[in-house]
Amino acid sequence: MARSTLVYRRRWRADAGVQAHLPGLMAALARSPVAAIGGDVATILAELLANLRHAAADTRTVDMQVAVRARGSAAVLIVTDTARGFDPVTAAGAIDPAADSDGVAASGRGLKIVVSLSERQRYRRLAGCNGFACRVRP
């Protein structure tokens, strides 16, 4: 198995939105071995955040741990959160696609973007935490 390098790890607060995190994330990615796909990594994180935030509307915490590892020229993105069980890709049908604003991100368009930019997506629920990982295409 190829060795991987930790590129970025932070706690994200979903209620702060993605914009607060973008400068730090983009700067870390620009200095990393996966700089060429930094925009794709940031895009996927933004869409996951939108989906998790939407699904966690039960007001429980939606703090997330976000980690990006470089593996060769691809990035492996790992997101964990303690909101209610929710796979942001396969559970998309549970979201009302007619909803405005948040719903636009949380419906088909955002998920199409996640799937288009990544090769593999994996969801696991363990000890009350959601874990989502995907490999971003080089």
Partner 1 sequence: MIDFRVSEDAGATALIIRNEYLTQENAAGLPAVIGDHFDPGKGFILDLTAVTFIDSSGLGAIVRAFKDKLIMEGITVRIAAKQVEKLFYITKLDRIFRIETR
List the one residue out of 6, 50, 43 whose CA is nearest residue 137. 43
116 binds partner 1 (CB under 8 A): yes
6's enclosing H/E stretch is strand 4-13
Residue in 39, 72, 85, 93 binding partner 1, rule: CB under 8 A: 39
Cα separation, 12 vs 128, whole angstroms: 18
34 binds partner 1 (CB under 8 A): no
Nearest approach, Cβ of residue 127 and partner 1 (Å): 29
Query: Looking at the DSSP assignment, which residues form a beta bridge with residue 68?
Result: 8, 77
> Which CB sits closer to partner 1, 103 or 131?
103
Nearest approach, Cβ of residue 116 and partner 1 (Å): 5
50 binds partner 1 (CB under 8 A): yes
Encoded tokens for 16 = 């702060």
CA 45, chain centre distance (Å):
3
> Which CB sits closer to partner 1, 94 or 129?
94
List the one residue out of 116, 119, 102, 132 whose CA is nearest residue 43. 116
- 80 burial (CB, 10 Å; 0-12 / 13-18 / 19+) is middle
105 binds partner 1 (CB under 8 A): yes
Residue in 109, 120, 124, 125 binding partner 1, rule: CB under 8 A: 109
Interacting residues with partner 1 (CB under 8 A): 17-19, 22, 26, 39-40, 42-43, 46-47, 50, 100-102, 104-105, 109-110, 112-113, 116-117
